[in-house]
Every structure is written in C-alpha cells, then in structure tokens.
Amino acid sequence: MAKRIANVIVDSPIREPLDYLVPADIEIQVGQRCLVPLGTRKVVGIVVGFSEESRFSKLREVISRVDDIAPLSFGWLALTSFAARYYQSGWGQVAIPALPKFFRKLPGKLHERSLERLRKEKKRAVKEPSEKPHLNSEQSAIVEEFQMDGAFYPALIFGITGSGKTEVYLHLMEKVLLSDPAAQVLLMVPEINLTPQLVERVQSRFPQLEVVSWNSGMAEGQKASSWLACHEGRARILVGTRLSVFASFKSLKLILVDEEHDPSFKSQEGVRYNARDLALKRASIERIPIVLGSATPSLESYKNALEGKFKLFKLTQRANSNAHLPELSLVDIRKDKPVNGLSQETADAITETINSGRQVIVFLNRRGFAPVVECKNCGWQSTCPHCSTYAVFHKTTGRLTCHYCGWSTPLPKTCPKCGSYELLPIGRGTQRAEEELETRWPEARVSRLDQDSARQRGSASKVLDAVHNGDVDILIGTQIVAKGHDFKNVGLVVVLNTDPRLFSSDYRARERLFSVLMQVSGRAGRDKTEGKVLIQTRYTEDDIFKHLKSQDYEGFAAGELEARRASFMVPFSAQALLVAEGKEISSVLAFLQKLKALAEKIKGPSVRIFEPVPLTVQKVMDIERGQLLIEADNKVEMQKFLNRFQPEALSLKAKGSWYIDVDPLNY
C-alpha cells in the first residue's frame, strides 16, 4: 500500500516543505496545522500537500493534528508561498510567523477550552449608529463605477486631504457587505496609533456587524481572537496594519489600503515584505477588487494608474462644503531670522490663531530635546558608543539616548573629555520646542505628540482626544501629528526645520517630504475656519514648495517621475539590496565583494551591480553594516536573477551574516 506522506512547512529557512509520514489514525487536510518533530524539538507546521513518494528514505511521523479549526485556504497558502519566493525566504518563515502566537505554539492541555474562550471574546461596545453623509458627485461616481463582479480590479483613489476618501471606503464596504451575507472586508492602515479612531468610525457605521482589528500593539489574546473571528467568518471587517495582509478569511471580497504610500507597509525586519504590494497580489489570487487610497500616492502606484494598470479615481474637492484648502506660505529664514526656532512672522501667526480661539499644530520631525550635546571648550560631542550616531539629549529623562540601539546614560555634569561645565545642547527636538512654546505663550495649553510621549498604551489617543475636544491650543509633534486626523478647529500649521531633507542622499526623500508636508498641511482648515500653513525654510525657490502651494501633487509627481525615468530609478527599474553585517567593516565589504563577483558571473545584461559601500549609519549595536545594491530593468528580471543568485550565494563559504531586501525603501 502506498505510504501517505504529508508535505509540511515549518518556521525555518529550508526552502522545500519537509516530508513526514502520516500515521493511519491521524486525519489531516491540506491547510491544517500539525505537530511534527524537527531535530530534537517538536514544532507546529502547516500541511501544504500530500505525496506518495519522498526523496528521503527515513521519514519521521506527524505527531498529531493541532486542533480541528478549518484549514487555511488555498488562497492563503498561495499568498504566503508567493511572498516567500518573491522576498527570497522559506515558505514557513513567512507562513508560520503570520499566525498569532496562540496558533503556532505547542498546544497545551487546555487548548480546546482556550479556543472556546477566544470565540467568546467580549465584543466592543457599539455607540448610536453614526450619520451617513450624502456623497458628493465625485464620491458617488466612484461608488457607482466601482466593479465588484468576481474579478481582480485594482483601483487607486487619489484624493486630496479631507476629500472624503474614508467616506468612500465606507460606502464601498457597505456595497460589498450588503450584497453578500458572508462577505468580509480587509481595511489596511499604516502602523500608527490611528487604528482605534478608525475602528470606531467603521464600527459605528456597521453597528450590527463584527468589526475586529489586528496590529502589533495588541495583546496576544486579542490578536488570536481577532484572527480566529476572521478565519471562521464571524468578523466581517478587519482593520489592521501591515501584518493583516496575511490574515486568514473565510470569504474575503474587498481589500482597501489607506495611505498606500506610507513606508510602514514595508517590513524592516525578518522577511522584508511590502504589505501594499502583497495586498495587490492577494486581490489577484482571490479575484477581488482592491482600492489603494492616498492624497499623495507612491510614485509606483501613480505610474501604474497613469499607465492604466490601475483604475484611477480622483477626488479634487474637500468633502465638507464648509472646509477650505489651507493657504500655504513660506517664511524665508534667511531674512526673518528665527529666535528659539521661530521667525517673527511665525510667532505672530501663532499668537493671532490662539487669540481667535483656534488651534495650532507645530510640526518638527525630530524627537528628544537636542540631537547632540557639545562641549564648548574642547568640542566633545555626545555619541553612542555602540553606533555611528549621536546620542540624543532627552530632558524629560535627563539622559543621552541612542535612537538606534536604545543605549542611554545620564547627561554628564561635566565634559567627559576636558571636565568643562560648558555642555551645550545643539539643535532642537520636539521637547525643546515644547518648552519654548510654553515659555513664549504661558497661557496656552501645549501638548506634545511623538514616539516618546506615545509610548505608553493609550497615551497618544488621550492627546488626540484632547485636541479633538478643544483642550489643547498648541500641539507640537513629529510625523504622528500629520497622519489622517480629522481635526475640526486647526487654524494654523507651522513646519520647522525640514531643509535637511531637501538634500538627502536617498532618492525617495523628496517624495516623502512632499507627502508628509501635504499630510500635515491637510490638518488645517478642515471645518468652517480658514486654515493657514507656514513653512520656515532657507530654500524658498525649491520646486517642491511651488507644487505644495498649489496642492499640486500631479505636477510634483510628473516632475519626479520624469527625473526618475531619466536616471533609470525605481519605478523605472527594480532594486534589491544585499546587506551584510559583521565585526569589522573591512571584512564586511570584502564579503560583499565576493557576492558581487558571484553576481557579475550570473547576471545577464538587464542587471547592474554596484560597488559595496558601508550603510549610511554604518554601525548599530556594535555591528558594522555594508550594502551591495543590485538594479534590474524590471521586477521580473530581478526575480530571475535573484532566483539563480540566492542558492549559489547561500552555498558560498564565507563569514558574516547577510540578508536580501527586495524592493528596499531605505538605504
């Protein structure tokens, strides 16, 4: 009789599924989780197929099936398998970590009872359903034209801030959810603390449906319960961050990716996947529509839309007829010299705004008090002993802290080198700006929102609620303040110190800067009151400001795309980055030279290999890092190359660890 052999994926770099014999008394299907021996351990794996023969002679046996929850779908297996191949890692390395801990750990004695508990997890309290506004003509055109007839249908909604994109999402969801009592919708959002507000907005629109969320900040139990509710079809809507692209659904019918340009959709550790791109892949596997939405689409998506690969929808007006687009002006800080960071014109505008009872947002994309402390006597500077970076002074804790590795030490009283007392904080972060604002406007209620103040769970929501309730006059913060908040009473947005980003060596820096400035400007004038934006800069002639002033994303994008076309940059080419790490930069670079030699041997004419160089931040946590950039004419050519290169590179005998970052975002 033929042996029954299960092909099982486990969390390891091994490319091929492992073969295990299935004992006659174990019933198991493709997509179910099982317990298998691996080396001396027992681990949870997923059955991805069966065969009658194996290349290996001595097979071990499947120990048991983990539980009887429904198998993971073929669509889910296809997605994780694709992601593994595309990002050059093991299938199990993608699939297993994509499950919440509860479903990948060895089942305990009370596993079945825990499952029952997860199924009964308390639902959120639902408030009085919310009002559904009448869509304007641009909005309703999208909802009417949108196709949902069982085919892959990628669409990009390019809509200025406040144009009612979220409202369109809600209508599209309604269309899908009402047409099919089992239909499920996935709404993906960037990795920030916005999820609670959005989940509430969604839940109050669909009070009778189960809405769940999935993000990295949640407790494990919650994650497991959300996951199971989607898997078993009870939850009809999932609002989640990048990991949710790997959620399991019983009947997924629509995917929405809000702020699709946001870099947080790209994972920067482990398997470096881009959840926006995988969402597109998933929609194509499941043959369903997908909507990408943004006020400043990524150039990749915008190009796809211009070329007709995505259906392009535009929202050109603010949805709320009372709302105005903010008026944007530049403050030339060569003429109007800042005092404590603020030019006279800026300070006057702040005073005026507060006096008229409206709120001010000050945007400064740098946290801490001062980015570096310097000795006036000998020139000593606060650096991190483990990284090639400065240690940032945090006044709230009185410490110097490295933002790369977390190393931290109390601020010395005297210079560690010469003993002088003259230690000066140089530059300005949000903490310092907060202090200066409080000193200058002692009557005003000032709040700060950045990664430090948001660290405790719920504290970001508290600050945001305070702003919404009018309990804050001036909000100072980093990028977090720019994201999608629907503040009703912001009269002025002030932008400080973005000049360094105009000249970054990263070719995406201008795209990012434009996007974040559009986002933060979009917080002003969202209801009734006129909004104003002031940007302090020394480079008033820069093109980026010309387009910002007229809210002209399309003009900006056209210029950037042309520049990238001319220099064969992404999206007119594809990139992959080989990053190597080690104790000495010389040996790291020598290893990368070996990889380069191998790559040169394998590559065809459509692939170009650059010189190995140290990373911009060369050392982190005492590990030296170097990179080798590879460029191909397009993604298909890149994949062909990597599929040949990777196995050979893995068999190179050389020191040091390394990884591949396909479609890298930062370097």
Cα three-residue angle 531-535-536, rounded to 5 degrees:
145
**Using rule CB under 6 A, residue 136 touches ligand ADP:** yes
Contact 628, 578 (CB under 8 A): yes
Window 418-457: residues binding Zn ion (CB under 5 A): 418, 420
Q: Are 510 and 560 spatial neighbours (Cβ–Cβ below 8 Å)? A: yes
Left (φ > 0), alpha (ψ -120 to 50) or beta: where does 254 sit? beta
CB of 467 to Zn ion, least distance (A): 33
What's the min distance (Å) between Cβ of 166 and Zn ion? 39
Interacting residue with Zn ion among 160, 173, 305, 375 (CB under 5 A): 375
Q: Is 667 in the site for Zn ion (CB under 5 A)?
A: no
Q: Which stretch binds ligand ADP (CB under 6 A): 130-138, 306-314, 444-452, 655-663?
A: 130-138
Q: Shortest CA distance to 60 belongs to which of 32, 101, 103, 23?
A: 23
Residue of 41, 109, 120, 134 that binds ligand ADP (CB under 6 A): 134
Minimal distance, residue 232 CB to ligand ADP, in Å: 31
Residue from 89, 161, 430, 453 in contact with ligand ADP (CB under 6 A): 161
Number of Cβ within a 10 Å radius of residue 242? 24
Residue 230 marked ligand-binding: no
Q: How far is the CB of 486 from ligand ADP (least distance, A)?
A: 5
User: Would you say 34 is a known binding-site residue?
Assistant: no
Residue 407 CA to its chain's centroid (Å): 25
Decide if residue 58 touches ligand ADP (CB under 6 A): no
Give Cα separations from 573 to 266, 306, 612, 631, 666 (angstroms): 18, 17, 19, 7, 16
Q: Backbone dihedral region of 525: left (phi > 0), alpha (psi from -120 to 50 degrees) or beta?
A: left
The window from 52-60, 409-417, 545-553, 643-651 that contacts Zn ion (CB under 5 A) reads 409-417
Rank residues 169 and 249 by Cβ distance to ligand ADP and give the closer one.
169
Q: Does 383 bind ligand ADP (CB under 6 A)?
A: no
Closest approach of Cβ 377 to Zn ion, in Å?
5
Residues 6+ apart with CB under 8 A from 407: 384, 385, 386, 387, 391, 401
Give the range of 128-136, 141-149, 261-269, 610-618 binding ligand ADP by CB under 6 A.
128-136
Note whether 198 and 239 are within 8 A (CB): yes
Task: Compute the least distance from the CB of residue 335 to ligand ADP, in Å.
Answer: 35
Within 8 A by CB and 6+ apart from 580, the residues are 588, 591, 592, 595, 625, 626, 627, 628, 656, 657, 658
Binding span for ligand ADP by CB under 6 A among 162-170, 219-227, 398-406, 423-431? 162-170
Taking residue 346's Cβ as centre, other Cβ atoms within 10 Å add up to: 23
Is residue 464 part of the contact set for ligand ADP (CB under 6 A)? no
Residue 135 makes contact with ligand ADP by CB under 6 A: yes
Q: Does 377 bind Zn ion (CB under 5 A)?
A: yes
Q: Which of 17, 100, 107, 162 binds ligand ADP (CB under 6 A)?
A: 162
Which of 311, 302, 303 minimizes the C-alpha distance to 283? 311
Backbone angles phi, psi at 55, to 5 degrees: -70, -20
Of the pair 133, 207, the CB lying nearest ligand ADP is at 133
Of 32, 88, 93, 163, the one binding ligand ADP (CB under 6 A) is 163
Site for ligand ADP in 300-329 (CB under 6 A): 319-320
User: Over the range 519-544, which residues count as b (16 or more CB within 10 Å of their CB) and which as e?
Assistant: bbbbbbbbbebebbbbbbbebeebeb
DSSP label at 241?
Answer: -
DSSP alpha helices (H): ranges in 426-508? 430-440, 459-468
Q: Does 489 bind ligand ADP (CB under 6 A)?
A: no
CB 661 within 8 A of CB 575: no
Regarding 508 and contact with ligand ADP (CB under 6 A), the answer is: no
- Residue from 232, 486, 499, 633 touching ligand ADP (CB under 6 A): that is 486
Question: Are the C-beta atoms of 604 and 632 separated by less than 8 Å?
Answer: no
Residue 165 near ligand ADP by CB under 6 A = yes
Compare residues 42 and 528 and give the one whose CB is closer to ligand ADP.
Answer: 528
**Least distance in angstroms from the C-beta of 366 to Zn ion:** 17
Q: How far apart are CA 135 and CA 138, in angstroms?
A: 8
Exposure of 169 in the CB half-sphere (CA atoms within 13 A) = 30
Beta strands, E only, 52-152: 60-61, 64-65
Ligand-binding annotation for 375, yes or no, is yes
Angle made by CA atoms 65, 54, 58, in degrees to the nearest 5: 80
DSSP 353-410: HHHTT-EEEEE----SSBSEEEETTT--B-B-SSSSSBPEEETTTTEEE-TTT--EEE
Q: Which does 405 bind (CB under 5 to 8 A by kind): Zn ion, ligand ADP, none?
A: Zn ion
- Please identify which residue in the block is written with the tokens 């996007």: 515
The two three-digit tokens of residue 482, written as one number: 């720019």
**Nearest approach, Cβ of 172 to ligand ADP (angstroms)?**
12
Name the one range near ligand ADP by CB under 6 A: 131-139, 145-153, 337-345, 417-425: 131-139
Q: How many residues bind ligand ADP (CB under 6 A)?
A: 16
Does position 386 interact with Zn ion (CB under 5 A)? The reply is yes
**Minimum distance from residue 194 beta carbon to ligand ADP (Å):** 11
Return the residues of window 140-159 that contact ligand ADP according to CB under 6 A. Answer: 159
Query: Which among Zn ion, ligand ADP, none contacts residue 133 (Cβ within 5 to 8 A by kind)?
Result: ligand ADP
The reply on whether position 73 binds ligand ADP by CB under 6 A is no
Could you give the 3-state DSSP secondary structure of residue 252?
Answer: strand
Q: Which residues are within 8 A (CB) of 426 and not within 5 positions of it... i.e. 6 or more apart?
A: 370, 371, 372, 373, 374
Q: Decide: 426 and 374 in contact? Cβ < 8 Å.
A: yes
Stretch that binds ligand ADP, among 48-56, 164-172, 571-579, 641-649 (CB under 6 A): 164-172
Annotated binding site: 375, 378, 384, 387, 402, 405, 415, 418
- Residues tagged in the binding site annotation for Zn(2+): 375, 378, 384, 387, 402, 405, 415, 418
Applying CB under 5 A, the residues found at the interface with Zn ion are 375, 377-378, 380, 384, 386-387, 402, 404-405, 407, 415, 417-418, 420
Residues near ligand ADP, by CB under 6 A? 133-136, 139, 159, 161-167, 319-320, 486
